[in-house]
Amino acid sequence: MPIYKKNGRKLLPIKEKKVDLELTIQKLVEENVTEIFSLVYVCSEYPLHNLRIDTLAFDEEQKSFVVIEYKKDRNFSVIDQGYAYLALLLNNKADFILEYNEKCQGNLKKNDVDWSQSKVIFVAPSFTKYQIEAMGFQDLPIELWEVKLFENETILFNQLRASEKSESIKTIKKDKNAEVVSREIKQYSVENHFRQKGNRTRAIYNMFSERMLELDPRFVINPKKIYIGFSIDRNNVVNVQPKASKVVLDLLRVRPQDLNDPEKKTRYMNHSYDWYHQHVTQFDIKNEDDVEYAIMLAKQVLKRFIG
């Protein structure tokens, strides 16, 4: 997709430049990994058992490790290489814990990490059609990110997704690495959150999600282990947690006093800043009227997020 800059009434194309993954993009990602991927940088070029991880990062919200790899050519299997790195991680947990604690001056313990949320991110100037369509397998803890560099120093990071979801990767991937990964890593869907819930809770969620997607076309539904996130550019704006008889709305980065809450229905989530590194205010959605109130609150959070 061409990118232009405005010069009066005329649009001038911005030319794409060749990407130097090793010297330019890797250094740029490592210095801005929080801004780009909402992660914490751990280390670069981490060697372990004949493999070398380009960039090791940590997801503080999910409490999980993330491997970032940079690819100059397109002749590789995203699934085979991705599973090799994940198996390395899962088979050597103590080494990764030690590396994090040494480089980040942390006190992380093995049980503090949610290993089921580990993943690999591949970054490259482009990917083949087959690599992109491989992302259509369900339960695949791998992401593809295309990076483009332009002559005006604009840089584009774009996550590539398959055109549709197919069968689970567990049904076709049967080697040793796949067994290790499939045993420990779990990818979540919206359906996972409603298997033990009633139809009423699902109906409330459906009403809320439809309204949220109408608020901003950039919203992406992002299911995680304990919540379903509504995110823009990988950053969650609000989360929802389906319960037995209600849906709990997490309003992120705000306290009750930051909101126009005329009926005083919100509550502050105690210790949220200690755990999530941000303030979280909650609201219970129990019926259709509550959905309207929830959308009113979510609009305020969205406005603050955009601002």
* DSSP character string of 176-240: HHHHHHHHH-----TGGGGTTS-HHHHHHHHHHHHHHHHH-TT-EEEE-SS-EEEEETTEEEEEE
Is the pLDDT at 207 greater than 90? The verdict is: yes
DSSP three-state, residue 150: strand
- State residue 76's pLDDT score: 85
**pLDDT tier for residue 174 given thresholds of 50, 70 and 90:** low
Is the pLDDT at 173 greater than 70? The verdict is: no
- State residue 32's pLDDT score: 95
Q: Which residues contact 17 (CB under 8 A, 6 or more apart)?
A: 149, 150, 151
Q: Which residue has the higher pLDDT, 181 or 219?
A: 219
Count of beta carbons in the 10 Å neighbourhood of residue 36:
20
Which position has the token pair 């929802």? 240
Which position has the token pair 């942390």? 106
* Average pLDDT rounded to a whole number, residues 37-47: 95
H or E element: which one contains 164?
none
Which position has the token pair 């780009």? 36
* Average pLDDT rounded to a whole number, residues 35-50: 94
Is the pLDDT at 108 greater than 70? The verdict is: yes
CA diameter of the chain: 60
Question: To the nearest whole percent, how much of the chain has pLDDT over 70?
Answer: 95
- State residue 172's pLDDT score: 60
* Average pLDDT rounded to a whole number, residues 192-204: 86
Is the pLDDT at 212 greater than 90? The verdict is: yes
**pLDDT tier for residue 170 given thresholds of 50, 70 and 90:** low
- State residue 75's pLDDT score: 82
pTM confidence score: 0.81
Domains and CATH numbers, the chain: 12-184 (3.40.1350.10), 191-302 (3.90.1150.20)
196 near 165, Cβ under 8 Å? no
Is the pLDDT at 1 greater than 70? The verdict is: no
- State residue 184's pLDDT score: 85
Per residue in 135-163, pLDDT (tens digit) is 887 778 999 999 998 888 888 899 998 87
Is the pLDDT at 128 greater than 90? The verdict is: yes
Question: What is the average pLDDT score of the chain?
Answer: 89
* Average pLDDT rounded to a whole number, residues 191-220: 90
- State residue 22's pLDDT score: 66
- State residue 134's pLDDT score: 85
